[in-house]
Amino acid sequence: MSKKVYVGMSGGVDSSVTAALLKEQGYAVTGVYMKNWSQDLPGFTCPWKEDYQDAKRVAVQLGIDFKMYDFETEYRHKVVDYMVAEYQAGRTPNPDIMCNQEVKFKLFLETALEDGADLIATGHYARVKDGQLFTGLDSNKDQSYFLYRVTENALKHSLMPIGELEKPEVRRIAKKLGLATAEKKDSQGICFVGKVGIKEFLLAELGPQPHGPIVDQAGKTIGEHDGALFYTIGQRHGLDVGGGLPYYVARKDMKTNTVYVTTNLDDANLWHKEVELENVHWINVEPEKGKQYQVRLRYRGPLVDCELRGNKLMLKDEQRGLAAGQSAVLYDGDRVLGGGIIG
């Protein structure tokens, strides 16, 4: 009997083609729409109903079973509340990483297995082999950075077929099969990332924030901010302090509600050669001490040579504008080892 695969179908082209490929490969495929967020925000209507209908249309076209899992409560608790708390602490979290860890490769996996599935599948641009995670073949679309907190056990129960393809090929397959989502623009995932800026979302969640001083490298107050939590280390735009050289956010003091800026790109606060990691997670085994690896310190950031010493990364070259709360993801060639949260 063929293995049962539950495919997370978001209503986008990537997960649609994932379901089509797995059906072609002989799996018994069931499409599942995960309802994670449905709340409208000021000036923005959440498109979850439209996405659900698109996913359902594709399932009908492919002749596969289709269902919806409602994870809204857990998503709010595990992803949104975490994200808001991190911003309130003055950090810059990555909700997509937490969503993969807690919802897609934990809650969805557990629910699907209990429901009779042998495996789950997602439309991620990454590759899975024997419980190990590798980069997607399309380096422009590679999503392995967002998946570094997934466990070996979850990967052993997961398929990511489009990780072997380039994005234009995925579109081509969707068009060839006449899938309803073939021409659909790529979604920004969750409602409040993309069309709704993070600032607008935090304002909707938390209300207006206390204003405070923006202080330059000479200790002079040069402006006023509308909430320290809205600012990220290294940020250059949106400071509204005019004239002369551009200012960069160098650090924040949440206790005194102060944002410190500098025009000096050589400011010591902006550059790091050592990175302290928190909440470290290794997918298979801990990396070897003293061996050279590569680390990505933000999505689409460059790969930087490094060594791991305890929970500290020693970078070969100094890097600018590292934000606490972001993730540092360690690679050995095209294999993802894991990583941690930048402290």
> Which one is predicted more confidently, 246 or 149?
149
> Phi and psi for 252 in degrees, rounded to 5?
-135, 145
pLDDT tens profile 256-278: 999 999 999 899 889 999 999 99
pLDDT of residue 118: 98
pLDDT more than 70, % of the chain: 97
3-state per-residue secondary structure call for 58-106:
HHHHHCCEEEEEECHHHHHHHHHHHHHHHHHCCCCCCHHHHHHHHHHHH
Mean pLDDT over the full length of the chain = 94
**The pLDDT of residue 207 is above 60:** yes
Measure the CA–CA gap between 196 and 100, rounded to whole angstroms. 21
pLDDT of residue 224: 95
Q: What average pLDDT does range 10-26 have in this prediction?
A: 97
Q: Which residues are catalytic?
A: 99, 191
pLDDT tens profile 278-305: 999 999 999 998 999 999 999 999 999 9
Q: What average pLDDT does range 208-223 have in this prediction?
A: 96
pLDDT of residue 192: 53
Tell me the pLDDT band of 194, cut-offs 50, 70 and 90.
low
pLDDT of residue 136: 98
Tell me the pLDDT band of 188, cut-offs 50, 70 and 90.
low
Domains and CATH numbers, the chain: 4-176 (3.40.50.620), 209-262 (2.30.30.280), 268-342 (2.40.30.10)
In this structure, the strands spanning 258-262 and 248-253 are: antiparallel
Angle at 197 between CA 10 and CA 217, to 5 degrees: 140
**The pLDDT of residue 22 is above 80:** yes
Half-sphere exposure of 211 (CA within 13 A, CB side): 5
pLDDT of residue 47: 87
**The pLDDT of residue 190 is above 60:** no
Tokens for 266? Answer: 């050589």
pLDDT of residue 191: 53
Query: How deeply is 29 buried, as exposed, middle or buried, from its count of CB atoms within 10 A (0-12, 13-18, 19+)?
Result: buried
- Letter for the amino acid at 310? G
pLDDT tens profile 224-246: 999 999 999 999 887 888 767 89
Measure the CA–CA gap between 324 and 313, rounded to whole angstroms. 14
In this structure, the strands spanning 158-159 and 119-121 are: parallel
Q: Whole-angstrom distance between the N-terminal and C-terminal Cα of the chain?
A: 49
Measure the CA–CA gap between 89 and 156, rounded to whole angstroms. 35
- Letter for the amino acid at 157? H
pLDDT tens profile 27-81: 999 999 999 999 888 778 888 999 999 999 999 999 999 999 999 999 999 999 9
